[in-house]
Amino acid sequence: MTRKPIQVTEPFLPPFEEYVDYLKGIWERNWLTNQGPLVKELEEKLRCYHNLSSPVYCVANGTLGLQIALKALGVRGEIVTTPFSYVATTSCPLWEGCKVNFADIESNTLTIDPEAVEAGITPQTEAILATHVFGNPCDVEALDAIAAKHGLAVVYDAAHAFGVTYGGRSLLEYGDASMVSLHATKLMHSVEGGFVFAKDPRILKKMEWMRRFGHKGPKEFFGVAINAKLSEFHAAMGLCTLNHADLILKKRKAICDIYDQLLLGDREEAAFSVDRISDTRYQLCPIIYRATASRNYAYYPVIFESENKLLSAMRQLEGKGIFTRRYFHPALDLVHELTGKRKPCPISKNISKRILCLPLSSSIDQCEIDRICLEIKNIQGI
């Protein structure tokens, strides 16, 4: 009997009838897009879910959300950003004509290192663009302090950070603007989609009109803008998914707990650093989540001793029908052909070669998780 392959991620699909119920409403209203009632309902529910006092605004995808955030903040010149993220983090500012300087990451949290950020600031720097990698918050206090000292904007790529709190507050309340992705691969999704948030009402308002051509009225415009509207069909999926948020999180947490137990065993001290990996008896080290942050179980990354060991493990698992993904490889400073002198980012380069995300989705059942764990234990040569 051939066994069903286990993918690194599988989108959550709500019970079909629940989606159909929303579709019936769309048919009755014949209102398909342009800030329809389902988009408004989703925005309000997302605001409540994140316990925010100001609105969030939905966009067609996270990438456009990031571009809109940069535009609303008037960032045009140089930015300092992380090399350890998805390609959209750097393609957005580059697409907007910004110059990108990379700052290396912290070896234990994998988020941008504030010291490296400060070292990367030049007289032309206008903003810091940082990613809450795998839902793990950046060192937001340190980045805020650096931004205040140098008069910079802070934009967070919070694509992975749905629902994360830090110090008891929504992580979205940090920095000048944040974008969360609602792509189908994310733990909460609207097929394609995302939303943006800013504390400053002026920036928030700008982001609101920037996603819908800048309309002030039928013939009047706030300014030049783009089309980043979320459709009612996408909002319907977002609402269906959000209705199952508790269950999705519970299932993902249960899988992460099993992985933790398998990989960490009785290890008492969770902290590790790149230099220490080789002298720990554990070959696979999950990353360290920042204290006072809540976890959303968006990804389960493990770090191997070497790239060869990662490739061997990946191949062996694939042979058993278990698919993992190299998130994020290669590091972004090695992806983009950039002009000018660049500071090397050795930690990100090193980690990106050795990090692998294990299968994680709310549709993985107990049988499958047992199978994954067994095959991980059986991996030879690591």
Beta-carbon contacts of 95 under 8 Å, excluding residues fewer than 6 positions away, are 67
Q: Between β-strands 169-170 and 177-181, what pairing exists: parallel, antiparallel or unpaired?
A: unpaired
Task: Provide the 10 A C-beta neighbour count for residue 288.
Answer: 16
The vertex-30 CA angle with 26 and 34, nearest 5°, equals 85
- Minimum distance from residue 27 beta carbon to ligand PLP (Å): 27
Q: Which stretch binds ligand PLP (CB under 6 A): 29-37, 48-56, 67-75, 155-163?
A: 155-163
Binding flag, residue 131, ligand PLP (CB under 6 A): yes
Which of 89, 101, 352, 361 forms a contact with ligand PLP (CB under 6 A)?
89
Q: Which stretch binds ligand PLP (CB under 6 A): 42-50, 82-90, 242-250, 333-341?
A: 82-90
Which of 8, 79, 88, 98 forms a contact with ligand PLP (CB under 6 A)?
88
Q: Which stretch binds ligand PLP (CB under 6 A): 28-36, 56-64, 243-251, 355-363?
A: 56-64
Our CB check for ligand PLP shows the closer of 126 and 157 to be 157
Our CB check for ligand PLP shows the closer of 131 and 362 to be 131
- Minimum distance from residue 301 beta carbon to ligand PLP (Å): 13
- Minimum distance from residue 335 beta carbon to ligand PLP (Å): 13
Taking alpha carbons only, the member of 367, 375, 274, 346 closest to residue 84 is 346
Which of 78, 104, 106, 157 forms a contact with ligand PLP (CB under 6 A)?
157
Give the C-alpha distances (Å, rounded to integers) separating 113 from 105, 143, 316. Answer: 5, 9, 34
Binders of ligand PLP: how many residues, by CB under 6 A? 14
Binding flag, residue 83, ligand PLP (CB under 6 A): no
Binding flag, residue 183, ligand PLP (CB under 6 A): yes
Binding flag, residue 170, ligand PLP (CB under 6 A): no
- Minimum distance from residue 184 beta carbon to ligand PLP (Å): 9
Binding flag, residue 106, ligand PLP (CB under 6 A): no
Name the residue number minimizing CB distance to ligand PLP.
Answer: 62
- Residue/partner pairs of 86-89 with CB below 8 Å, 24 or more apart: 86/131, 86/159, 86/327, 86/328, 87/332, 87/335, 88/62, 88/63, 88/157, 88/159, 89/129, 89/131, 89/157, 89/332
Which of 137, 194, 286, 301 forms a contact with ligand PLP (CB under 6 A)?
194
Task: Report the distance separating Cα 33 and Cα 37, nearest Å.
Answer: 9
Our CB check for ligand PLP shows the closer of 170 and 181 to be 181
Binding flag, residue 195, ligand PLP (CB under 6 A): no
Torsion over CA: 302, 304, 307, 312 (sign): negative
Cα 119 from chain centre:
25
φ and ψ at residue 271, rounded to 5 degrees: -65, 140
Binding flag, residue 85, ligand PLP (CB under 6 A): yes
Binding flag, residue 296, ligand PLP (CB under 6 A): no
Binding flag, residue 181, ligand PLP (CB under 6 A): yes
First CA to last CA across the chain, in angstroms? 29
**Residue 74, SS3 per DSSP:** coil
φ and ψ at residue 100, rounded to 5 degrees: -110, 130
Task: Report the distance separating Cα 314 and Cα 44, nearest Å.
Answer: 41
Dmax over CA atoms of the chain, in Å, equals 67
Cis peptide before 83 (omega within 30 of 0): no
Our CB check for ligand PLP shows the closer of 96 and 375 to be 96
φ and ψ at residue 254, rounded to 5 degrees: -60, -40
Binding flag, residue 113, ligand PLP (CB under 6 A): no
**Residue 105, SS3 per DSSP:** strand
Binding flag, residue 136, ligand PLP (CB under 6 A): no
Binding flag, residue 62, ligand PLP (CB under 6 A): yes
- Minimum distance from residue 259 beta carbon to ligand PLP (Å): 20
Q: Which stretch binds ligand PLP (CB under 6 A): 108-116, 157-165, 216-224, 304-312?
A: 157-165
Instruction: Provide the binding-site residues for ligand PLP, judged by CB under 6 A.
Output: 61-63, 85-86, 88-89, 131, 157, 159-160, 181, 183, 194
